Amino acid sequence: MGRVTARRPVLRITPEGQIRRPDTLAVEEPLEIRLDGRPLTVTMRTPGHDVELAHGFLLAEGIIGHRDDVLAVRYCNGVDDSGANTYNVLDVALADDVVVPDGAGARNFVTSSACGVCGKESLDQVRTRTRFPLPADGPAVTVDALTSMPDALRERQKIFDTTGGLHAAGLFTPDGVLLAVREDVGRHNAVDKVLGWALTERRVPLGDTVLIVSGRASFELAQKAVMAGVRMLGAVSAPSSLAVDLAADAGLTLVGFLRGGTMNVYTGADRIKSGG
Q: Which residues, including other chains, have CB under 8 Å from residue 132's CB and lie 6 or more apart?
A: 65, 204, 205, 207, 227, 228, 229
The reply to whether 76 belongs to the active site is no
As beta bridge partners, residue 13 has 18
3-state secondary structure of 54: helix
Whether residue 106 contacts residue 116, with contact meaning beta carbons closer than 8 Å, is answered with: no
The residue from 19, 114, 115, 123 that is catalytic is: 115
Contacts of 44 (CB under 8 A, 6+ apart): 28, 29, 30, 31, 110, 111, 112, 113, 185, 186
Pair 257, 126: CB distance under 8 Å: no
Write out the catalytic residue numbers: 115
